[in-house]
Structure 1
């Protein structure tokens, strides 16, 4: 296993912008954490694929690239960089400053979309770097994860210290092969006659588990809730986050990619709610969200703010719609549990019905 310092490669055809981004990262990443490399592609570099190959190696932990690199190399786009990285199982993030509509806001499962504003870009990159590094180090420090035959979900659950949640994480991984053809080919190679070495296994596990965790598990509430999803779970809007969050300090998720955001383990949230509501007696409620809201209102000594929903008057919830970014409830006129839009394991994510009815026919779903 390689103990060399991990490196981060930044690619942009605008040298001043690239230098400024590097400086923002220098302020966030300690020199002992990472070697920062930059590349301004030019026609003098020769074939772009070969020039890229010369700048990455087994210690490259993350690549960040501008989408449009044609200013300096005709026909070179970040999309090519993304493809080359995916074939090598190197996490890659892309952005577009010149034309913000050139890239969709939502990345695919094995892609990272970098914010383009100076206030958030470096922080996002640092969080991604540290998150993938933490997963890699966790695998390296647990040799049994490589020698024992375990599912990807079992490895992730073990790394996060929650082995009992393996089945929940497994549900997020049901369509991995369809999400990335290069990944599918690598998995087929691993299943062949030639046994991959530990370095290859570590790189592939880090790549797959890091993306699943960040782009699926943390994005679509299930075993882990964002602060907004926590508010929806107690049937109120995100505005109540500062008031609610302190009660769930012991439920915080502090694993990979948690830097800069508030995340909570659902099972711990439920334990805290059970404790807070222990004196409610045999009161009956229509749904778990109604009960959760009542518990928090009792604890706070006031009514929670109503969220923006004209179907229930803003007092129901329990679920979070990752598309409209609003609390929703399980009423048939409020949301639908779309398995084609949301990973199966995301049990606290549902699609707001109006949004689903508008877009599902256009997408053939």
Structure 2
């Protein structure tokens, strides 16, 4: 699948602007972003549920939307897994999987063969005659996937299929779903607002913001090299702090921050991840602060520290990792590993119109 110059507008309101993306066969693309960023709209354009204002979409090299051309969903060779799975309660598992084939006019004998094959591929061959209500959530998801792949689609579209589940079940099912997508060799587009889902499932992640792709990268590149402060903040990679350069180096809200290298700018923003900080004695550390929260993780403790700042400077917090449990309210020192910092040009300060 490839989209080039894809835009969608309703009157003067731009919903999507200049989307360029290519998805090789057998890979998964995650569309990641907050509500209203345009990720579901982009999925609907690929599905043929919406027509673009400009640009084009190709699937397996065939144009399905572009100047003077718009193929409806049934002509695009797609499968879709919905947020609530959309299983018919009055049909059996096999009946649900067979439904798109019936709509396509596939004969009964071929239909039964293809349904059995699809259920076997998702490990539900023995449950063909059961009601969907008798299945677990994970098994219902597999039925939805079997229905999506029974027509041997070129791409399977996933529209936030895990968003209605609690976090513990969602984490379990993400791993299972990822293994299933890879095992079936699917080409997939997966919409989510949860970065852990996107980073676990996808070969490529498109972080969307205000109708545009802010960054398109492999998961590891996204984490190691975020393209902007906004991407870093959305992914919760660490603290993004505004710094000012003076004769002694960088400062934060008037407090010295040290000679850290960085860009040759008077103002900049820096991403400080937990890996870029080391605990130190408060008297000899570059930074000092107060422990505000401590959360246990499998590998230790995630500690939130509010940095000390002079006068009325706004409070800034950072996170560090600790092998031992620290006390809330404890004063700590921090040293910075400068080579682990990620620098960005400072964002323009907001301007306000004069009345």
Greater CA radius of gyration, 1 or 2?
2
User: TM-score w.r.t. structure 1 length?
Assistant: 0.27
User: TM-score w.r.t. structure 2 length?
Assistant: 0.28
Relative to its length, the structure with more strand (as a share) is: 2
Relative to its length, the structure with more helix (as a share) is: 1
